[in-house]
Structure 1
Amino acid sequence: MTEVTSLAGRLLVAAPALADPNFDRSVVLMLDHDEQGALGVVLNRPTPVDVADVLAPWAALAGEPGVVFQGGPVALDAALALAVAPGAGPLGWRRVRGAIGLVDLDAPPEVMAAELGSLRIFAGYAGWGPGQLEQELEENAWYVVDAEPGDVCVPEPGGLWRSVLRRQRGNLAMLATYPDDPSLN
């Protein structure tokens, strides 16, 4: 079996030609990735559900917009939370990469509030079985780029796909101008 280089903490940016509607123009932060498969959350799929309606104690810490995001098509009844934390981060926060980490939603938010920056709640996640993500990467369905802490809680999630591409170098930056519907050109 080929050794897998972990993409945890990196972004998958959907190629314009990616046909799966679950991932159209999506930006996925990878949380785990190894020989057993991969798991991440879509950063730019806000839902109309307010965080206060489902996880009221965390609502005050949620970044704008203060809604739950659809993290992916798997386990939509499960909640995950990401937050940016400078330094070591509080107890109940697990580093993914740099200042970005997962928050234990069973921890008391009032204890964590002083040490957490931006927080985002996700319903569900994106998951890949063994070798599945690697196959999609070989098919050029995704671009792998570095994440920045601001990506987790960008206030205008609808523009994240373009802004992540725009900050890349070379031809990848040009894709930021790719039209929503190329047939209209």
Structure 2
Amino acid sequence: MDIDSDIFKIQSNNVLPSRGKILISEPFLRDATFGRSVILLIDHTDEGTMGLIINKPLPIFVNDIIKEFKYIDDIPLYKGGPVATDTLFYLHTLANISGAIPVSKGLYLNGDFDEIKKYILQGNKVDQHIRFFLGYCGWEGEQLNDELKENTWLVSKEDKDYLMNSDTKDMWKEALEKLGSKYEAWSRFPRVPTFN
């Protein structure tokens, strides 16, 4: 029986990064922040790249840090990345929020926070519509391109419904599986190979 040994070779899929695409970490990246992460690229230029990790919920809620939300249902809070961890960022599907930055079709970053608060306090649905993050990921100049050459990341595209899904437990695995058989095999690699 012939075995395709390339299936075990960690190699990027050669898709170029751009605003609105996602980064999927390679399976053996042993980093507390970036291991098994899916990152939405907010911006990618020659000067640098900004992204938000979208599949790592924190053990606290937005309600714990925004007092006006104290009496509404718990709103999940995600670890956006290791930069500016004291700053709140929010992705949303609300096209009418003034000052919001378009990220991809139907998906926006930040904007007038008073309008966001008003939307939430009026009892509108948060799940699938707004996701909050502390911190962000940042790469200077060619740093991300260098990491892509080192096969640290795969680049892919997902629609807003998938990106805003609150069930993030298997997001990394599912994002890999969508890329085809080689990457589907990667999704089954154990987190720590020696435990296999």
State the TM-score bracket (shorter-chain normalisation): 0.7 to 0.9
For residues 68 and 152 of structure 2, what CA distance do their matches in structure 1 show? 38
For residues 137 and 160 of structure 1, what CA distance do their matches in structure 2 show? 20
Q: Which has the greater radius of gyration?
A: 2
For residues 58 and 165 of structure 2, what CA distance do their matches in structure 1 show? 15
For residues 35 and 8 of structure 1, what CA distance do their matches in structure 2 show? 12
**Is residue 43 of structure 2 the alignment partner of residue 36 of structure 1?**
no
For residues 73 and 159 of structure 1, what CA distance do their matches in structure 2 show? 22
**Which residue in the other structure is 1:103 paired with?**
110
- Relative to structure 1, the CA distance from residue 15 to residue 9 in structure 2 (aligned partners, 3 Å threshold; closer, same or farther) is same
**Which residue in the other structure is 1:69 paired with?**
78
Q: Which moved more, 1:127-136 or 1:103-112?
A: 103-112
Aligned pairs, number = 177
For residues 41 and 72 of structure 2, what CA distance do their matches in structure 1 show? 22
Question: What whole-Å deviation, never above 9, does each CA across 1:103-158 have from its counterpart, x for those lacking one?
Answer: 32533226556798521100000000111000000000000000221233322222
Give % identity. Answer: 28
**Is residue 31 of structure 2 the alignment partner of residue 24 of structure 1?**
no
Contact conserved, 1:35 with 1:131, CA < 8 A, in 2?
yes
Contact conserved, 2:49 with 2:138, CA < 8 A, in 1?
yes
State the Cα distance separating 1:58 from its structure 2 match: 6.4
State the Cα distance separating 1:170 from its structure 2 match: 3.3
**Is residue 75 of structure 2 the alignment partner of residue 81 of structure 1?**
no
RMSD: 2.6
What TM-score, normalized by structure 1, do the two folds share? 0.83
For residues 171 and 61 of structure 2, what CA distance do their matches in structure 1 show? 20
**Is residue 101 of structure 2 the alignment partner of residue 94 of structure 1?**
yes
SS in 2 for 1:108: helix
State the Cα distance separating 1:20 from its structure 2 match: 2.9
SS in 2 for 1:173: helix
SS in 2 for 1:177: coil
Contact conserved, 1:57 with 1:109, CA < 8 A, in 2?
no
Contact conserved, 1:90 with 1:112, CA < 8 A, in 2?
no
**Which residue in the other structure is 2:188 paired with?**
177
Question: What whole-Å deviation, never above 9, does each CA across 1:55-91 have from its counterpart, x for those lacking one?
Answer: 35568999xx722111000110011100124xx5443
SS in 2 for 1:107: helix
* 5+ residue gaps, structure 2: 1-15
For residues 61 and 137 of structure 1, what CA distance do their matches in structure 2 show? 42
What TM-score, normalized by structure 2, do the two folds share? 0.79
* 5+ residue gaps, structure 1: none
